[in-house]
Structure 1
């Protein structure tokens, strides 16, 4: 769904750009320019309107053009109705006093306008009615019908483009998370009869895609351009839908292109007479390692329906030339106005709440390491003091093809593969990254034994390497365990729920949600739940919730020994000889839980807590991640809670290893520093102060073995509605 747009009034002498993610508003003056020539529009014709004052305090949503072609109109909800603000495109002035429109809820999206009737339409999602605005009578209404009966329950329609032609609005392409919709299936809304239908097109069907555009010509052609599929350019980049035929027919035209690689996504497009004009967006190919912002405007000659020709129309040489000066100075924006859709706003990535990213702060040199980066340990002996060089940190995020968006970010380990489950309307698939081949397998089929509309993934998967089964344990204590057989690609759910735990605390008035615990799978097939909280109250560590994966049974086990202090934001891993190592965490905000390192001896019955001797302690960490590698627990990132000096960074960008070979004495040492580049042999220090190199722990580096750290999401449930892109990002 586009969140920016180009608008061309009937006179055709101004090309308006409006971006809603950041308020970017300007026009390109086309007066005296003939599109039939090779004339290039000078950047002095880019007239900034962003700082035209006075202007309304609140400008949100997308504008529409009234039937008289005199005003751009934007809506804002207000008490007792909807406020409509207008911008006069001849005078270039705002009417700061809005006119009132009847109170009707308006969704998120781009208006599609019928120039003949002066009526505009806004579509949000298939379960809601269409919003309709009459620019002549200044009334907002809602359609009677919806499109929900054309789709299975739980279906989510997103990232589509829409185009109006002969009273029909066509919704083309799009997708949800890593799943793309077929371009054969075209949803259509009849504006005259208020009815919906699905058209099955024929011909050379283009590949499903996100981040594309569609415009219509006067002779019944719909031109679809650009977009990506699995993070590479969708093929073909230019397709034609002939609506003069029934059913509609796709074709791939001949294209003349003098620019070489010309693949775009997240751009905006509009028809001006016989030319499709596109602007901004991202020029992305399979070969370049990063996304390139397009600062130019191009035109496509569509006069010959069999052959289309691209040419350059206008562009910005240096975006820094544009200052915060007056209207008379050409200043389109302070940053390239490229956000044309949800995905372009995210730079074709994933929502902020689900993804980790590389982020640098120039003032502090703080850095996050993406979960798409891998630390390469080949040739490294953990038994020595050798540090892993930065050259061993291998960036995987630009390996393409790759999923456009990972629906659920928590990884599922399976041998040499890492899997990410996805779901749409009860149909499950999995995206698989092969760590040996360093290659993605996208949208592999998963057999869902017990049909579910969707599931709530707030915790991390925990995997049994012996059986190939992975378990997603619940946060809400009335929910079942999701069981994924990674060998046979079968998804199932448990018969039991942790009612025994819910019953224990319900008498004390607690909510039946359990979060911020850690879970660890031990050799007998039990998953232990350690620490965490119910209703924001930390649970004691001497009583553990246990799930028996073999018998599908829940129980509560009481431990012996001196139990460590209750905590959250800690980790736990298990060793092959029957120890569970619990490290870090806080008892309350910024207060380290004691002791920092504890051992649960599971070779005894009942299980027994011990406090070991620790050499070279590294401090108290929280929000980190841990995993067992041979005789070492490796911990990374997180926050050093022992660090109280405000001038010293307290968020770690380093890897540490804990030698656990001696069950009575444990020794910490440094394994890797992100900024370590020295080619000469290095050894770790024998002691660690509290001022190690740290950075914010936004990463989702997953210990894809027997450890997980669960976020506090008890107040959130995954619904069958669209994911918000408000973190757009990113």
Structure 2
């Protein structure tokens, strides 16, 4: 069944799917879910096989405690054994009423149990730890501000959450950056909206040198006017996780059209593949695939020559993950060049990123070259770094204000 607004995350050779809005075309219904299932990437499979794909459903045993959609999920905790589901819309499983008592849930991969972690909040005005501010995370603005945010995580268990909006139909958007130490349980709120503006529908990619690259999406120059415009694709905002400084990089290369609700994945050789999305007319972004080369400086946009054989229909609001020499895309809403997205789907497609051919056969790879995924749902999602040597270093002439 088709899903939108879900979250995905990788652990070892399992691609986990969390929540989302389940679309039933027969009943003509769309409902948030507490689904938890994964695609087993340790085994070979064929997309055309009658046996189906190696899905494993954990919902009955370990379903999310609430109906969840538009959240972001990152891996952290001791031994990187916990998924943290952050923000989004959370509704009571039985009544469908809004759940406002937490901004985060933790899923223990070893026990299969969910919990609400106790957090230490750092006041973003005084920059001091305030143990009395437990109620801060229960306030509506802090819960809604991460609806559709993007998160990435590093190998030390630090999770960086940026952007998002107050709700699917709200005009209140955010440019804050949250730095969450998932081992010390410290929730540190930075304010970056003064120079980054607010942003939704973008993607985030953490490179191996600790620099986060933000691509595309919509921004509101005036803060919360609701007047959203496409981010120019050659305007690449980056955040250095070691210095906590923002840098605006100007990418060069081939011309690429602005887009949102797309996905971005980092390949084993330092390329970022951007797939799908829509423009401000809500028509399909063109071309489907553009690539940002992070090995060179300045950063370069490339439009690869993609084989049309087995090419899937264009889409937005989908998921994507880089696995060795493959990019897998999942679900989403089909798009066209003349009309808004209108057809939710539940399919999987595989791109061989060594030759840009769409293939139907998947062969498992070593867990060491699995990357963390990215979801291009309505307001944004997550990605993580892969180990690869890189030549790119941030410039200094376009540096933004220190945080």
Which of 346, 349, 361 matches 1:656? 349
Separation (CA, whole Å) in 2 of partners of 1:623 and 1:466: 27
Q: 1:402 to 1:574 in 2, by over 3 A?
A: closer
Tell me what 2:372 maps to. Answer: 705
In 2 relative to 1, CA 368–566 (structure 1 residues): closer, same or farther, beyond 3 Å?
A: same
**C-alpha spacing 1:457/1:631, structure 2 compared with 1 (3 Å):** same
Deviation at 1:407, TM superposition (A): 10
Q: Displacement, 1:356?
A: 2.6
> Cα offset for 1:397?
2.3
Matched, 1:443 2:116: yes
Deviation at 1:486?
2.0
Q: Which residue of 2 is the match for residue 18 of structure 1?
A: none
How many angstroms does 1:379 deviate by?
Answer: 4.2
Matched, 1:473 2:162: yes
In 2, Cα distance between the equivalents of 1:554 and 1:392?
41
Counterpart selection for 2:192 from 497, 500, 508? 497
1:464 aligns to 2:138 (yes or no) = no
Cα distance between partner residues in 1 of 2:116 and 2:371: 20
User: Could you tell me how far apart the structure 1 residues matched to 2:244 and 2:118 are?
Assistant: 26
Give the TM-score taking structure 2 as reference length: 0.65
Contact 1:517-1:710 within 8 A present in 2 as well: no
Distance in 1, matches of 2:192 and 2:337, equals 41
- Provide the secondary structure at the position in 2 that maps to 1:592: coil
CA displacement at 1:523 relative to structure 2 = 1.7
Q: Which residue of 2 aligns with 1:641?
A: 335
Counterpart in the other structure of 2:272: 580
The equivalent of 1:521 in structure 2 is 206
Partner of 1:487: 183
Whether the aligned pair in 2 keeps the contact of 1:412 and 1:461 (CA below 8 Å) is no
Output the aligned Cα RMSD: 4.0
Change (3 A) 1:611 1:371: farther
**Residues 520 and 527, structure 1, Cα contact 8 Å, conserved in 2:** yes
Q: Match for 1:356 among 13, 20, 28? A: 20
- Matched residue SS, 2:59: coil
Are the aligned partners of 1:519 and 1:530 in contact in 2 as well (CA < 8 Å)? yes
Which protein shows a greater Rg? 1
Cα–Cα, structure 1 residues 435 and 670, in superposed 2: closer, same or farther, change >3 Å?
farther
In structure 2, the gaps of 5 or more residues are: 1-17, 91-99, 123-128, 165-171, 220-226, 363-369, 381-403
Count residues with an aligned counterpart.
311
In the other structure, the counterpart of 2:61 is 399
Residues 139-218 of structure 1 mapped to structure 2, 5 A cutoff: none
Indicate if the aligned counterparts of 1:428 and 1:446 stay in contact, CA closer than 8 A.
Answer: no
**Judging changes above 3 Å, is the alpha-carbon distance between structure 1 residues 363 and 483 closer, same or farther for their aligned structure 2 residues?**
closer
Tell me the CA shift for residue 655 of structure 1: 0.9
Q: TM-score, structure 1 length as denominator?
A: 0.38
Give the SS at the match of 1:445: coil
User: Aligned partners of 2:119, 2:85: CA distance in 1, in Å?
Assistant: 11
Counterparts of 1:587 and 1:433, CA distance in 2: 35
* 1:433 maps onto 2:107 in alignment: yes
1:544-580 alpha-carbon deviations (Å, 9 max, x no partner): 1112122111121101101311111111111232100
Among 69, 82, 101, the alignment partner of 1:417 is 82
5+ residue gaps, structure 1: 1-353, 502-511, 673-702, 714-730
- Cα distance, 1:400–1:427 mapped onto 2, change above 3 Å: closer
8 Å contact kept, 1:637–1:651:
yes
Superposition pairs of residues 563-712 of structure 1, within 5 angstroms = 563-615=255-307, 616=309, 617-642=311-336, 650-660=343-353, 662=354, 665-670=355-360, 705-709=372-376, 711=378
